[in-house]
Structure 1
Amino acid sequence: MQFQSLHNKVVIVTGASKGIGHAMSLLFAEKGATVYAVARNVGLLKALAASTESTDGSIIAAPCDITRSSEVQALITRVIEEKGKIDILINNAGIGHFGAIHELEEQQWDEMMAVNLKGTFLTTKYTVPHLIRRKSGHIINISSVAGTVTFEGGGGYCTSKFGLMAFTDVLTQELKPHNIKVSVICPGSVQTHFGGTEPKDYALEAEDVAYMAYQVAAAPKNVILNQITMRPVVPQPK
């Protein structure tokens, strides 16, 4: 198989200030892409942009609240004006609050739906017309195993991630006639202290998920890696 080069590709990564998004930004830049790293924390984004050692690619800090339509529109317009194109959109931003459904605060529920679903909707909404005009591009959504199976205490988070899976399926159908790829990656436990939880020692590394995203993006032109589930190998008791 002939894998694609990411050299000179323009990539948007949301939730880039830490965790999986941080790792993806560094890896894609290392592979030669120009990465617009998107998050709300300006300081962390600037530090990320300055930390890349790539001589081929680059990371550009792009502060944006993806739950705000006007900011997302401005972001997409900026990228197209500066680089002339968008090749890959990675919807990675996510937030999790965990607890029994009746104990979740309304604000916690709203925040998960806003970031995990509405944010992905907005970045996609304003990017897709550009991709359709170019008749090329790739949208990669970072979901979770929690988007495929439920667990106690995950009512709000699982709801948002199951919604993201449905969103991805519909998007796949709508964009297939326009030669636009759509993929979703569903990692299990990752060592990122996500949602304030303590990760297990054997959990996936953020770099593991980043490398899978790279493989999905670099797959041969005639191949769509549509849905990938990643789980850590659980050590067996001796």
Structure 2
Amino acid sequence: MRLAGKRAFVTGGRQGIGRAIVEAFLAEGASVIACGRGEAPDALPGDWRSLDVSDPKAVEQAASAVGAIDILVNNAGVQVEKTVTESSDADWDLVIGANCRGVFNCCRAFIPNIRAGGSIINIGSISGKVADPSMALYNASKSFVHGLTRSIAVDHGPNVRCNAICPGWINTGMLEAGFDLASDPVAAKKDALARHPVRRFGEPKDIARMAVWLASDEAGFATGQLFTIDGGMTAASPLNPGVF
């Protein structure tokens, strides 16, 4: 019960990584309020708020209504599979609105509500460090998240710690959408698995476990850091180990 007595607000808690974090926090004793667009998903534990994080006034109202918290997890995000020249203004508004402005809105609104010793956990991505093809806006948005994470740690310590988790390829709908871009999705997936030393893709619970640690007092000296959880994929050279 590493989070007993703590109160958390998790964006994008409907499914995937967000939902896994909600469930892991509850299992460790936290009380959790999750949010997302639309009505509460079926069988989601904890409390739910309908919220579009790209809307600053809606986020401010949510922060006022929620009150004091100990943990903020910025997980809400979207992905568009396009290059720069293919991307429209609407694509920009969607991706940057959710992935950049959404994180900024929530941090700005909730930081005054975070109790001393609290933790902000931003969900970044390895795509903010290395560029996945045909994911221009997504790659750029995650780089923004990483930079904002460092700034918050510097500007708002010691009251608040702020770190980012940078997932690799996690078994969610976003992963499948990425493989669908390949000329041969089956071959692309096989090649990708060979590039993981652990020989599997990640699961949402792998990210949730890191989030629990960062939210707990055990991580009291960790702030301003980007924690890569990718099964060792980015540790390897470009050579595919599957051919050796």
Hey, what does 2:236 align to over in structure 1? Answer: none
Query: 35, 47, 72: which is aligned to 2:43?
Result: 47
Pairwise CA distance, 1:149: 1.3
State the partner residue of 2:186: none
Give the match for residue 60 of structure 2.
73
Which residue of the other structure, out of 80, 97, 113, is the alignment partner of 1:130? 113
Q: Is the 8 A contact 2:80 2:138 kept in 1?
A: yes
1:220 is displaced (CA, Å) by: 2.2
Q: CA deviation at 1:155?
A: 1.2
SS in 2 for 1:101: coil
The Cα shift of 1:41 comes to 2.6
Match of 2:228 in 1: 229
Q: String of CA shifts for 1:51-89, please: whole Å, max 9, x gaps.
A: xxxxxxxx1011111111221112111211xxxx20000
Name the amino acid aligned to 1:213: A
Q: Aligned residue for 1:25?
A: 22
Q: Structure 1 residues 222, 164: CA separation in 2 closer, same or farther (over 3 Å shift)? A: closer
Could you tell me the TM-score, scaled by structure 2's length?
Answer: 0.82
Any conservation in 2 of the 1:17–1:41 contact (CA below 8 Å)? Answer: no
Partner of residue 209, structure 1: 207
1:150-229 mapped onto 2 (5 Å cutoff): 150-176=131-157, 178-194=158-174, 196-198=177-179, 200=189, 202-220=200-218, 222-224=220-222, 226-229=225-228
Contact 2:213 2:219 (8 Å CA) reproduced: no
The 1:88–1:43 alpha-carbon spacing in structure 2 relative to 1, beyond 3 Å, is: closer
**Percentage identity across paired residues of the two chains:** 28
Q: How much has 1:233 moved relative to structure 2?
A: 5.1
Aligned pairs for 1:89-168 within 5 A = 89-131=72-114, 134-168=115-149
CA contact (8 A) 2:81 2:178 kept: no
Aligned residues: 218
Give the TM-score normalised by the residue count of structure 1.
0.84
Partners of 2:91 and 2:142 lie apart in 1 by: 15
Residue by residue over 1:8-54, the C-alpha shift from the partner in whole angstroms, topping out at 9 and shown as x without a partner, is 2100110000110011101111111111011013141x5313xxxxx
Rounded Cα–Cα distance in structure 2 between residues aligned with 1:63 and 1:174: 30
Give the Å deviation of 1:221.
5.9
**Offset at residue 236 of structure 1 (A):** 5.2
Alignment partner of 1:173: what SS? helix
Of 186-195 and 225-234, deviating more is 225-234
* Shift, 1:5, TM fit: 2.2
Deviation at 1:136, TM superposition (A): 2.8
SS at match of 2:53: coil
For structure 2, list consecutive stretches of 5 or more residues without a partner in the other structure. Answer: 181-188, 194-199, 234-239
